[in-house]
Structure 1
Amino acid sequence: MSSQVFSVLFVVAVLLTLLVKLALMRRQIRHVRARRDAVPAPFAEAIGLESHRRAADYTAARMRLAIVEVVVNAGFVLVLTLGGGLQRIYGLAGTWFDAGGIAHGVALLATVAVLGWVVDLPLSLARTFGIEKRFGFNRMTPQLFVADLVREGLLAAVIGLPVLAAVLWLMGAMGDRWWLWVWLFWIGFNLLALFAWPAFIAPMFNKFTPLADEALKARVEGLLDRCGFRSRGLFVMDGSRRSAHGNAYFTGFGAAKRIVFFDTLLEKLLPEEVEAVLAHELGHFHHRHIWKRFSVIAAASLGLLWLLGWLMERPWFFTGLGMDGATGGTAVALALFALALPAFTFPFGPLMSHWSRKHEFEADAYAARHAHPGDLASALVKLYRDNASTLTPDPMYSRVFDSHPPALVRVSRLRPDFREPSPT
């Protein structure tokens, strides 16, 4: 393949991905706003018209910002590749470190990451202090926002830079099968992160306290006994420091498993509804959804690393993405691959979304067996209402992007009476 042909394929992939995303986001806005003034009949008793309108406006606002985000990201990728941005960063990093060395490669990749962070920062500010604040969800102060940025930057430096150095060393030292060694290292790192996150990293950002409500604790422990689930404890996270959104999850693996409730969730739901939500999360554990997803990601990453190894031997891969013929190396290949990959893998996104929605149905069914399905249904309705989640997503947008089923479909499976009336 010539570099010119690959350049054309890359531009076509970027533009097609951008156009499809824009078209679907515009469909979502039109679809939701067209149904803004009528609550779907099954939800009419639980969700008022003003709440429904608020959810529609919130969804439209988020979609408008997402449109800006995808345009900016596409432009960023094109500037760094065909615009020669990565070539300039390579030359700049070469003035600091010996060209082609590990330090030079880490500097190159870190610079690209920092530039991406700088480009995303205005969007993050608009999301947090614009949209989230306007709709009453943001509780983040500017001081906390800055503190989070500092902590994230320190973590990226302390953990990310050594990881990048290790990957680049393996790519250069392990011969033709370097991709297998990098994959093994990456899998080991992710398993270690699963263990370390709940115990060491998450507490850097949030406070976790043992669940103090004895009645709720007894109800939850009874559910855990019925489900055969063992954990290191039940914790409440101060999610209200940053947002009014509520959630619950379990994290870690093996002896490090722990169950976490957002304090905002406990404020909104009745004890039996909290139990049903937790039963749903335990359904993910019972069906091994996390490990199934991890296995798919692991297999895909192995294939992608092999592909990167193959592409590194093709000069057109470098020149077709904006590098001159004399520039190559492991760090450049890794950066180009990371920049170009999303445009070519976008068509697989709907498959992953479909798989995720299937998992949600399985977890709901498990919850319905171990808690009252009506309690889960009522909890979901409250969460849709309080989180301003739209009840009327565009079906095509939802099939491509949504990891969770539409509200009406999901709740009606738990409550068969909860359906739209048939047209007469």
Structure 2
Amino acid sequence: MTEFGVMTSGRTPLTPARQASLREHNLGMVLDQIVNAATPPSRADIAGATGLTRATVSALADHLLAGRLIAELAPVSSQRAGRPAVPLVPAARTLVAVGLEVNVDYLGVRAIDLTGAVLAESVEPGDFRNTRPEPVLAALAALFAGVVTPLEAEGIPMAGCYVALPGLVDRNTGPLRLAPNLGWESVDVVGLLTRNLQMNGTPVALANEAKLAARAEAEARRPDDVHSFFYVSGEIGIGGAIVTDGAVVPGRHGWSGEIGHTLIDPNGPLCGCGSHGCLEQYAGKDALMRAARLPQSAPVRALLDSVGSPSTDTALAEGGRALGIALSNTANLIDVDTLVLGGVYTSLAPYLIPPIQRELAARVLSHRWSPVTVQAARSVDYAALTGGAKTVLGDIVMDPNSWTRRVLAEPTPIT
């Protein structure tokens, strides 16, 4: 699989290659045009957008059709002379990509196809604080099998999976270095899962939960041309991700965006990471529930239902203020003008945004010339699951031949 974050969706469109691999490159470029089009393009549309000849586009499209990556719609009349145009779309239910997640209070699996449709999913609540990785990952593999086995029985082949984890992950192969809220350290997640028979040999890759959620958010914002932002994933822990030109920026080791462990007060409460005064001790879900005098195991809905009580209003105001301090530092460091609140913060956004914006106005040096916008996320409902599956599909779009070789007994020549 490609290095996480180097995906085509939402970025500047690929351009024709002028090297030995130009056929494979151009095949990916044509598939990218079809998968990410606002309206289904014809072969002539793709030729016009890419600069490839009509004959080349036709040959490439025929190869993608044979590899069951795209499908043709009924011809439509055109104002131009000649035959009616045949729109091209991603093929439905011809492959399945899966996003998995281990979070502090749930396990999740979501399977999608190349159209982005959810074919099946399952989310299992639980308390995974200070657990052993082996039984938790075995439970995740069983959840995976329950979702995927019926799809494979229908003849829909598996493309791969990404696992979202709430901690430091060494790129896409691991290990998971540290997940403080799980109590996990130096865990070979890929090895444990690939050796599990219920995974049935499925290729496994890893990424931080916030980065995968940001990947889904980047796709959700593409129609509005919002391609650069800082994403904040609010759960029991707090993760973050930088998105530039539609691509997640992973950092040297894949560890960027750990905003939950930025400092609010050096004399503050002890954090699970071993430091004092980290942001998640003021604005993580557990911290907000404690401050609101609600059970930590209660859903975020309980916090919303108690808005108006002094303890809840104070919890949200102080949590928003802490977030505003941390996000002000972020905006000053990376010159970002859009901040996106995801995870549990999406539903809490109306109460968190005002105190966040007050801190931004007071602390961001460039605020007078370019105020920072704070918005609720558009990709909701376990966004990291969608982001994981979309990342698998991004690999296929980058290199369709890796998939068509599996489908075709004899690879069709690309001319």
**TM-score, normalized by the shorter chain, greater than 0.5:** no
More helix, by proportion: 1
TM-score by length of 1: 0.26
Structure label with greater radius of gyration: 1
The structure whose RCO (Cα within 8 Å, separation 6+) is larger is 1
More strand, by proportion: 2
TM-score by length of 2: 0.26
